[in-house]
Structure 1
Amino acid sequence: MRLFYRVLSGIALILALGLCIVIYYIANPRLPFYTAPQHVHYQDQWSEADRQIYYYTPQGTQVKGLHYDWFSALELPFSTQRFAAPEYLARFGFLVDPKQQPSVANPANLPVGFTRHQNPGSNVEYLDITCAACHTGELRFKGQALRIDGGPAHHVLPSSVPTLRGGSFGQALVASLAATYYNPWKFERFARKVLGDNYEAEHKQLRKDFKTSLNTFLTVAWNDTHRGLYPTLEGPGRTDAFGRIANASFGDAISPDNYRIANAPVDYPHLWDIWTFDWVQWNGSAQQPMARNIGEALGVGATLNFFDSHGQPLQGDERYPSSVRVHDLNLIEETLQKLKPPVWPEDLFGNIDRPLAAKGRALFAENCAACHVPPVLEEKGRKVKQLRMLPIDVIGTDPNSASNIADNRYDLSALQWDPAELAALNVELLPKQEQPIDLHQLSVAKGLAYVTAFVEKRAYKDATVGPEEQARLNGFGLPIGVMELRAYKARPLDGVWATPPYLHNGSVPTVYQLLSPQSERDQRFYRGNVEYDPRHLGYRTQAFEGGFLLDTRISGNHNSGHEFRAGPRGHGVIGRQLQPEERWALIEYLKVLGSPLEHQLPNP
């Protein structure tokens, strides 16, 4: 019997040690080391004032009720170092400038895209993560950093699912929140920083409010984990945006029956010139700028209520209160309309071989222009680029993103929408739908369009915005257009050299590989290193500490399609095989496409 108890005690000890190791590695994610650049170079893409507006204008996101001063005061789980220290957040890929200092717009000295807002009638400042956090890039080369405003970010933002590998901002944030709440010494330090002279009077309420926010994080993490909603790991610079928005809006907020597997991570697209496109999103599913921006704010955490305090669906003019800020969203949109594509910095990355680039110009006209130089029409006082949509059986790239948006269905009948109400909304379905809307099986594109229309209508009402002003804020008087094509758009390639990796899911690391047959592309490569390769136009892909290994054999990660190789066209083959010298010439031309440098090329 004594031996039995010893064995049992030994097993219990081993399990306890194993649990401690698991908790330690979950709370200490594997992150790349951060080395500050010698200097951050900013291009003349817009004015410094425009840059600050873009970086720190709030959208109305609330990050699950997290207060700005709470976030600023958090400590790491096993030390007193600030979680929000710029050098720590930079390890997740968020952008900081070594010379930056606290300012009126950024009092906590946080990375690009971290700001704050107050809701009407409240004195609480919520942490607000804006579009700038995901749509601002940086390229490193020989100790120098080149900021790419409007470029794709390469942070690891969304997932709070606990894993031993770690590396996610969401997971690390939840670990710090939990450690602060359950460690009395940490919470004491935290409370005194946050409350100051109000410590005695407000300590208990702070603990209660803090636990409410923590519970929200833990509930989402548990739900995502045990349901296995995100089987394809996203990693740096990627998120399954539509999948996460749908699961939050239709699953969390309406019914667990609406949860769907989200296995289609996409890269954050670059933003210059998007206001000239006829359709946006990788699959060309959205049209109106305000609706696009409201959808993005909801995806990042803006509050949204479908039901009243008794669980009954809101009706009529009560639909749908949210925290989105339409005036600020419009300010960001108007600021982005001033954004110019980046220009190849010869002083940093090397001189352009102009004769070679001139040869590349002819090759571009032969092989690329048909898709990537769209016709331009005049519509409502602006020049609109009519982007070409390429069906997935033609372009041959990973189908998950386009297919999920077109095929996944959700039951929104609990919201009790009246067909007459839907018909009166500023929503235009293309192609026009002849059959009545079936609320029991609505696609994510249509469902989000109607939700966004209600949210937009209520937000304009709360902000006392009249009809004429609404048309302007919507963007060019456009309706909330919806398309559900199993296709991806071919966008113009101005500044494409600054937007690696490539394809909608970031599965091809360099332009050189994108111009090559699939057999010559890396099957597995590391993401998260922002050290630039100016020869191949991409990031360095070698293994490094804390790097994310992208395996293109996994569903959602496929690097197929957009191939130039010998054989019949179609099923991913879009052009003839390009010889290596032709690829180099095209690369040289893509460095200057659409920039003032293009006018310096010699005539053929």
Structure 2
Amino acid sequence: MRTSSRTVSLILGVLLVALAVPLYYIARPNLPTYEPPTELRYLSQWSPEARQTYYYTPQGTRVKGLRYDWFVALELPFSRDRLAEPSYLARFGFLVDPDQQASALNPGNLPVGFARHSDDETGDQYLDITCSACHSGELRYQGKAIRIDGGAALHSLASTVPTLRGGSFGQALGMSMAFTYYNPVKFKRFAKQVLGERYDEERGQLRRDFKAVFDRLMATAYNDWHRDLYPTEEGFGRTDAFGRIANSVFGDAIDPANYRVADAPVSYPHLWDIWKFDWVQWNGSAMQPMARNVGEALGVGATLRLFDDEGRPLPEDERYASSVRPHDLHTLEETLKHLKAPRWPEDILGTIDLELASQGRALYEENCAYCHAPAPKPEDRRYAPDRDPEWRMRVVPIEIVGTDPTTADNIADHRFDISKLGWTHEQLGKLGVQLFGADPAQIDFASLSSAKGLAYLTAYVENRAYRDAGISAAERPAMDGFGLPIGVQEKRGYKARPLDGIWATPPFLHNGSVPNLFQLLSPISERSSRFWVGNHEYDPKFVGYRTEEIPGGFLFDTRIKGNGNQGHEFRDGCRSQGVIGRGLQPLERWALIEYLKVLGNAELEARLTPVEPRPWTPGPLCSGQVAQVH
């Protein structure tokens, strides 16, 4: 009997250790270290007031219902240190200013993009992850930091699925909530900070409310894990934006049968000049600013009511209520019109060689301008006559540009069943959505593309949000953005945008698969197939982040689906898929890079020496056919 008891105790001990060891590593994410910069330089992209408006204006997201003061009060699993301590959140890649202090816009003294909003009915204040969290960047060089407002984030945000490697903010948030809920000592400290003098009366309700939010977070983690929805790890600076939005809107909100594997992470696109673009998104699928922002807010966690508690569609006049904040989204969009492209700070990153840049300008005209130069449209050809300028965005087909097709293919091929909503073609016809290259009469509600489905759903949500916010018909054109309709085009390709400020937005290509500009201008055989991501340290020579291994970094493997680094290639010989121009000699690559440091800086452009560009002379198509860029 004693032997049996010892055996049971031994087995239980082994099981406890087996559970405790992985739990320890899951709860202590493997993160890069954070060193405060000796100087944080804000470039002259806009005013300090516009910057703060952009950083902390909410959009209506709610992080599963997490209250703002809860987040501020959460502790790390194995200490009393706060999860929301700026220096800790900076280890995930979120942006902080070493000198920042709590303010009216940022009372919790949180990183860029961690905003808050109040529920109109209850007054509860929710943590609101807003646009700037993902569309702000920072470069480090020799101890100094350069803030890139509207740039590409390099954080690890989205995943809530626990892993031994860790590194995701979502996982860390879940673990902090778990240890707070199940450790009575931690929960007591947490509740006293949140409730203050109301502790005795409200701690029970707080515990129930906290558990409800924690359960929703864990349900998302379990759903993502057991369905294996995101098999291509995103790492730092990427998320499968299209896939996550579609799974949130069509899967979470409508029908679990609509979940689709999302294996195409993309980098966060930079935002200067976007108000001038006739089409936005990586695949150039969206037109109206408000609809684009409403869809993004829904994907990041804004609430949406479509069905009652029994799963039945709500009556039409009760449906489509959301936490989306149209006035704030409009404020953000208007503020971004003032954002300028960053200018290369020569006193930090080094003096630009203007003679070399002059050679580079000629190479740019030869090899890049056709797709990337701004193309202002005449007034009678604009979608929005009052938008001046309006730039035509070329969407280059996959068979020409040759870059990883997974993102474009998923958007083009995934279909969703939204028939539970009970829509009719007649109802959709009243929404004013414009389908370019498609017939609305042919819409199949049991098999709808993500772009079309999001367009119609955001139209309904937008209408309801405008109604709830008291926005009149006369105000609506300005709120929509230049009076634009919700437009949709579906092309299997990627948008080629202007390159001003491109030096500040590594890594490159839509999926972040090329670490620096020098490699982007090189043949595929000279590009890194594996490199480390997560280090903000900048390389001003090759123009990209440093890619050596760092503790807590993410190993980017271009052999994994969705991570391919092929295409957009300059190489001699006949042109197969993805070869877009002749091979560039190393000196030509350096010259082109030097010019890309100047592009958009009118003062430096005026100092360049004129050099006659060569005509575009790529090799012949291997197939013998003529390709056209659309």
Could you say which TM-score interval applies, normalised by the shorter chain?
Answer: over 0.9
- The equivalent residue for 1:14 is 14
Alignment of 1:345-424 (within 5 A): 345-377=345-377, 378=379, 379=382, 380-382=385-387, 383-424=389-430
Alpha-carbon shift at residue 311 of structure 1 (Å): 2.3
Give 3-state SS (helix, strand or coil) of 1:16's partner. Answer: helix
More displaced stretch, 134-143 vs 415-424: 415-424
Identity percentage of aligned residues: 63
Alpha-carbon shift at residue 9 of structure 1 (Å): 4.6
Residues 154-197 of structure 1 deviation map (CA, whole Å, 9 limit, x = unaligned): 11000000100000000000000010000000000000000001
Distance 1:452 1:333 in 2: 17
Residues 15-55 of structure 1 deviation map (CA, whole Å, 9 limit, x = unaligned): 32111011111100000000000111001100001001000
- The equivalent residue for 1:303 is 303
- The equivalent residue for 1:166 is 166
Cα distance change on mapping 1:393 and 1:5 into 2, 3 Å: farther
Distance 1:545 1:131 in 2: 28
- 449, 466, 473: which is aligned to 1:467? 473
Alpha-carbon shift at residue 146 of structure 1 (Å): 0.4
- The equivalent residue for 1:579 is 585
Where do 4+ consecutive residues of structure 1 move more than 3 Å? 1-12
Alpha-carbon shift at residue 5 of structure 1 (Å): 6.5
Give 3-state SS (helix, strand or coil) of 2:313's partner. Answer: coil
- The equivalent residue for 1:104 is 104
Alignment of 1:42-121 (within 5 A): 42-121=42-121
- The equivalent residue for 1:328 is 328
Alpha-carbon shift at residue 122 of structure 1 (Å): 1.9
Structure 2 unpaired stretches of 5+: 612-630
TM-score normalised according to structure 2 size: 0.94
- The equivalent residue for 2:605 is 598
Distance 1:411 1:229 in 2: 18
* Preserved contact between residue 136 and residue 152 of structure 1 (Cα < 8 Å): yes
Alpha-carbon shift at residue 145 of structure 1 (Å): 0.3
* Preserved contact between residue 393 and residue 570 of structure 1 (Cα < 8 Å): no
* Preserved contact between residue 248 and residue 298 of structure 2 (Cα < 8 Å): no
Alpha-carbon shift at residue 536 of structure 1 (Å): 0.5
Residues 360-387 of structure 1 deviation map (CA, whole Å, 9 limit, x = unaligned): 0001101111110142113312211111
Distance 1:600 1:22 in 2: 60
Give 3-state SS (helix, strand or coil) of 1:318's partner. Answer: coil
- The equivalent residue for 1:194 is 194
- The equivalent residue for 2:259 is 259
Give 3-state SS (helix, strand or coil) of 2:342's partner. Answer: coil
Distance 1:426 1:247 in 2: 25
* Preserved contact between residue 314 and residue 415 of structure 1 (Cα < 8 Å): no
Alpha-carbon shift at residue 309 of structure 1 (Å): 3.4
Give 3-state SS (helix, strand or coil) of 1:23's partner. Answer: helix
- 448, 452, 455: which is aligned to 1:446? 452
Give 3-state SS (helix, strand or coil) of 1:591's partner. Answer: helix
Distance 1:578 1:4 in 2: 75
- The equivalent residue for 1:281 is 281
Give 3-state SS (helix, strand or coil) of 1:543's partner. Answer: coil
Alpha-carbon shift at residue 7 of structure 1 (Å): 5.4
Task: Look up the equivalent residue of 2:479 and give its one-letter code.
Answer: L
Residues 498-552 of structure 1 deviation map (CA, whole Å, 9 limit, x = unaligned): 0000000000000000000111000000001010000011000000000000000
* Preserved contact between residue 153 and residue 237 of structure 1 (Cα < 8 Å): yes
Alpha-carbon shift at residue 316 of structure 1 (Å): 2.6
Alignment of 1:104-253 (within 5 A): 104-253=104-253
Distance 1:381 1:260 in 2: 39
Give 3-state SS (helix, strand or coil) of 1:376's partner. Answer: coil
Alpha-carbon shift at residue 2 of structure 1 (Å): 7.1
Distance 2:413 2:233 in 1: 21
Alpha-carbon shift at residue 67 of structure 1 (Å): 0.2
Alpha-carbon shift at residue 105 of structure 1 (Å): 0.7
More displaced stretch, 83-92 vs 462-471: 462-471
More displaced stretch, 101-110 vs 7-16: 7-16
Size of the aligned set, in residue pairs, is 604
- The equivalent residue for 1:540 is 546
Task: Look up the equivalent residue of 1:517 and give its one-letter code.
Answer: P
Give 3-state SS (helix, strand or coil) of 1:467's partner. Answer: coil
Cα distance change on mapping 1:23 and 1:336 into 2, 3 Å: same
Residues 561-585 of structure 1 deviation map (CA, whole Å, 9 limit, x = unaligned): 0000012224110000000000000
Distance 1:270 1:373 in 2: 16
- 501, 504, 519: which is aligned to 1:498? 504
TM-score normalised according to structure 1 size: 0.98
Cα distance change on mapping 1:309 and 1:12 into 2, 3 Å: closer
- The equivalent residue for 2:526 is 520
Cα distance change on mapping 1:435 and 1:570 into 2, 3 Å: farther
Give 3-state SS (helix, strand or coil) of 1:275's partner. Answer: helix
Does residue 426 of structure 1 match 2:432? Answer: yes
Task: Look up the equivalent residue of 2:148 and give its one-letter code.
Answer: I
Q: Give the root-mean-square deviation of aligned CA atoms.
A: 1.2
Distance 1:436 1:308 in 2: 30
Does residue 480 of structure 1 match 2:465? Answer: no
- 523, 531, 539: which is aligned to 2:537? 531
Distance 2:327 2:579 in 1: 45
More displaced stretch, 253-262 vs 341-350: 253-262
* Preserved contact between residue 425 and residue 441 of structure 2 (Cα < 8 Å): no
Give 3-state SS (helix, strand or coil) of 1:100's partner. Answer: coil
Distance 2:281 2:486 in 1: 13
Structure 1 unpaired stretches of 5+: none
Task: Look up the equivalent residue of 1:278 and give its one-letter code.
Answer: D
* Preserved contact between residue 374 and residue 392 of structure 2 (Cα < 8 Å): yes
Residues 36-77 of structure 1 deviation map (CA, whole Å, 9 limit, x = unaligned): 001110011000010010001110111100000000000000
Give 3-state SS (helix, strand or coil) of 1:558's partner. Answer: coil
Alpha-carbon shift at residue 285 of structure 1 (Å): 0.8
Distance 2:30 2:21 in 1: 14
Alpha-carbon shift at residue 214 of structure 1 (Å): 0.3
Distance 2:605 2:521 in 1: 21
